[in-house]
Structure 1
């Protein structure tokens, strides 16, 4: 036989193992106790369970000790009944042993319940405090309504709260250290966020260190900034400093021009200043001066002390230098010149209901919502078969054949000479600019981007006043630093109607028509006889064209795309079958894959970050007629599976695709 104290000392020698035993309506756990050689009375289990209060987190336990087995079952209704009993005693003011006072209002309470529910009261009623035996305790820091709400929560588990009473309830919960009530207030705040209250909640969360509520409120401010600037600017001017810092630091402020954010920041400094220059620097350095026109920068900085600090002046100087970089802007990108709230969109450039009548209107495709929208700008001219790419957030439209509307009787476009023009679009300022033209006029050529350098490969150009063309083997690249085109190593032979892609910083070219000269309107049979199956690669470092394994199918006007380290060759113009194939650069081998259900050509294609390929529109044969389609197809490269995921707003053929960050 051992005493209670002996049991407490021997408890350190106890080995406890917990394992789930079985499942009833409530989880049941087995607790096995292996003791040194001494016996216990049942009364010692009481001492043991008091020492291990954590065990009561479970619903039921079975104790196995020596030859005896004990079961302890937990009733969830007992706790509810216990709180109900305390609430009834409080309502009837029975057995209350302490009175809390706030703002002249008294609240009779039970000291034991308060101490067990709040760290504040646990410390207040400690063994050495004067309040331990006091009949009345004054809480002058609290408002009666806030204290009452927290007491109701401690006695019932229910918290009465609204947007108007939230501040006093949060203040009482924080002061009394009732963390469960604080969590409920914070969740209420997150669920209730709107443009009307997000600034108010951000200030409240910052004041009481509610981190989740603080982050959620700041995110809402950023998303609702357009409405806040228009209708609730006063709320923004009353925003706390950390929140404004966090908002200006985010990449997602859709629909707002950077100049408006600069004006807001300067107005905030004027409303809440004067602030130390260190704090104003911290705030203004989060702005993106590269997105503001030089004239606006000069106007905003004139006579403003906060904009005249060395740090901010250096940032504005870098912004002005960026604006004067000209052709080198795409390779001079930084966070200061990156659009906010501008996710990449699939931009569909050119094309139309028929290849003979290209349109200037473009489409933007959101791959997440699978919806189309108008990007807010159009091509500067009608082009047929240009090349399109993006570098540094700029759109480049290169070469092609310029078309224009015919007279009212013809109702069709008139194709003019092949173009060497290069147009660049800047979505930051919604501005088209004509850049240095290519060294040669090109159509039915390809372009690739390797390490921010644009390569124009092969193609053909029409002879003036004739129905013939000349193919070229030449390759040229655009040096953005100098804004000029330079010659690169030519292909082994002239080629047009080919396809190209980039894999591991090497350019791959396949298929096409290798004839040097020919008739623009030659028969399909003549063209088909000369179509190539060959595949070439060009390492930009070695600058040598090398032959690779040939495709199994001759292809013209087809597409190449790269995904997961492979190259995919898709349908061309004169193919009797719908097969696609995949090239493995390691084995130098092409493999045929699942064919497309219906043959297509003149479609747009893009390889997504996930590795899937998107095919937009195109033309197919139906009953001997060419039909322009509206389908958007997705090819899962891992599962070798095709499916339709969307419909174009209108039939479209001859479009070119690229990814471009566009403002919402």
Structure 2
């Protein structure tokens, strides 16, 4: 058998369509005329039937239209039909925002799926605040799932602008899209009360609405984010809020507002902020170690940008414990710093504190929580299973006789009180802690006063002991402290952070090098990792890795340069998968002594 080659010519296919287009423009060999809105379009049956399932069925062997010279398409507009015929004859689809509805209608009606796909891509690529509601309605009407999902996301993102400038567009939004928008986890810059009012206005504008549809819509609202006074107003504002389902949600929201200290451990979707959960909050710190500021910064790891939330600390604090539970920020103990006047000279005084402050970002409100049982600074603070633990620390002023504490306490949020926990084997301060696998790990620190000597000298002693490499583990069920494998490096004023089931120990205040190490709780073993780019101390790092990347972040701090301290602006990221450091951005200003935690914040 002779061999042969099978070759393909793309120009032939293009020429074939060009030939049909020329015949159509010259009205030659056309065997059917399509009519829409009193406009005639001479066409070729063979090309139409081969390009459209609708025409294939229309010109079938048993239909009346198979021999008809003229076929009326009264459901279509001339503009829509003309655009689709041009596409069938040339492969090019002419569409604009103004013609999109009629072109998409014609493509759907005539079952030209390639044209439908082009229209969907046109919608998805061109979404903005001006057209997102219109495109959402188009996508819902024509069952374009990808475009509908993208349009709904854009409506949620642009909700603040739409409420100000295009409220009528929102009131005309299809119910499926409005339900999806109200179900979104992020709606930047919009208070929940505004969303409740929008939903009630939509029900009035589109009524009467069946009970099932009304409940479906209102049940997506988060009434726990609405102030009690507004809840009372909304409960009487519309008959749709009087249904048993919505009435029960309103009642639960009012009960949530009355929980007091137990609010963080009684969270539900109804009280969860519509905000990114991976925002890093930088609390306090300043351009120098002696005078901490009251400002708060927020860092978004996704965009690498900083913002300034409305909240500021109630007072100036140094070395406090900072953590978050249930979307609430807790600032615990530390040293309260104040300026005084002694002998006509301005001085700075610091007093160790037992006070606890709680910040609720839902309503931008600070509240005093129950004070700790002891005053603590340079203590370890961590959260395990929604319980805050305060471990050890320094009781006195740094310039006076300071003693370390071995005591441990935890915050019982249900009762709004601090309780005693298992005492450390020895007093400790300047240590670090992390929670993992149902337990609390404590590493390093010093059992006594502040270490003396020259910074950078490893193993500096005071009268009570030396910087420690020891690691302790508190089993929350057994409530006893146990020893674990020691770190390779003795550390003081360092940080522990968890990521991907491991604990990472980052450098501390008196270390002459930049080594970090990783602890595997399964094998009880520490591994030395790639050092930091440059040594620093009094930096900020969240206790847990950024949720979006699983990487560790280090903010600012101080380092030694030419025999003196300098405050830095660098933001470093450690890639936990590839053991790699890099600088990702700069702080808005030099910052040292800041404390970090992950907290969702409204934009």
**TM-score after normalising by structure 1:** 0.85
Which residue does 2:591 correspond to in 1? 652
> How far apart are residue 326 of structure 1 and its match?
0.7
C-alpha RMSD of matched pairs (Å): 2.2
Name which of 485, 494, 505 aligns with 1:569: 505
1:543 aligns with 2:471: no
> How far apart are residue 418 of structure 1 and its match?
1.0
Give the direction of change, closer, same or farther, for the CA distance of 1:419–1:202 in structure 2 (3 Å limit).
same
> How far apart are residue 154 of structure 1 and its match?
1.5
The question of whether the paired residues in 2 share the 8 Å contact of 1:463 and 1:470 is answered with no
> How far apart are residue 409 of structure 1 and its match?
10
Which residue does 1:475 correspond to in 2? 408
Q: Counterparts of 1:262-341 in structure 2 under 5 Å?
A: 262-341=196-275
Which residue does 1:155 correspond to in 2? 89
Q: Output the CA distance in 2 between the equivalents of 1:255 and 1:75.
A: 56
1:527 aligns with 2:454: no
The question of whether the paired residues in 2 share the 8 Å contact of 1:405 and 1:411 is answered with no
Q: Counterparts of 1:162-177 in structure 2 under 5 Å?
A: 162-177=96-111
Q: Output the CA distance in 2 between the equivalents of 1:523 and 1:284.
A: 65
Which residue does 1:33 correspond to in 2? none
Structure with bigger gyration radius: 1
Where does the alignment leave 5 or more consecutive residues of structure 1 unmatched?
Answer: 1-66
Which residue does 1:599 correspond to in 2? 535
Which residue does 1:491 correspond to in 2? 424
Name which of 503, 507, 513 aligns with 2:446: 513
> How far apart are residue 561 of structure 1 and its match?
2.3
Q: Counterparts of 1:111-150 in structure 2 under 5 Å?
A: 111-150=45-84
Q: Secondary structure at the residue paired with 1:73?
A: coil
The question of whether the paired residues in 1 share the 8 Å contact of 2:322 and 2:329 is answered with yes
The question of whether the paired residues in 2 share the 8 Å contact of 1:100 and 1:106 is answered with yes
Give the direction of change, closer, same or farther, for the CA distance of 1:190–1:408 in structure 2 (3 Å limit).
farther
Name which of 357, 363, 384 aligns with 1:429: 363
Give the direction of change, closer, same or farther, for the CA distance of 1:579–1:175 in structure 2 (3 Å limit).
closer
Q: Secondary structure at the residue paired with 2:40?
A: strand
Give the direction of change, closer, same or farther, for the CA distance of 1:122–1:554 in structure 2 (3 Å limit).
closer
The question of whether the paired residues in 1 share the 8 Å contact of 2:339 and 2:349 is answered with no
Which residue does 2:113 correspond to in 1? 179
> How far apart are residue 363 of structure 1 and its match?
1.2
The question of whether the paired residues in 2 share the 8 Å contact of 1:386 and 1:400 is answered with yes
> How far apart are residue 386 of structure 1 and its match?
0.3
Higher relative contact order (CA 8 A, sep 6+): 2
1:441 aligns with 2:395: no
Q: Output the CA distance in 2 between the equivalents of 1:357 and 1:412.
A: 13
Q: Secondary structure at the residue paired with 1:541?
A: coil
Q: Output the CA distance in 2 between the equivalents of 1:194 and 1:596.
A: 43
Give the direction of change, closer, same or farther, for the CA distance of 1:202–1:459 in structure 2 (3 Å limit).
same
Name which of 326, 338, 355 aligns with 1:404: 338
**TM-score after normalising by structure 2:** 0.94
> How far apart are residue 628 of structure 1 and its match?
1.4
The question of whether the paired residues in 2 share the 8 Å contact of 1:356 and 1:413 is answered with no
The question of whether the paired residues in 1 share the 8 Å contact of 2:446 and 2:467 is answered with yes
Q: Output the CA distance in 2 between the equivalents of 1:260 and 1:611.
A: 34
Where does the alignment leave 5 or more consecutive residues of structure 2 unmatched?
Answer: 455-459
> How far apart are residue 367 of structure 1 and its match?
1.4
The question of whether the paired residues in 2 share the 8 Å contact of 1:363 and 1:374 is answered with yes
Q: Counterparts of 1:53-72 in structure 2 under 5 Å?
A: 67-72=1-6
Aligned length: 594
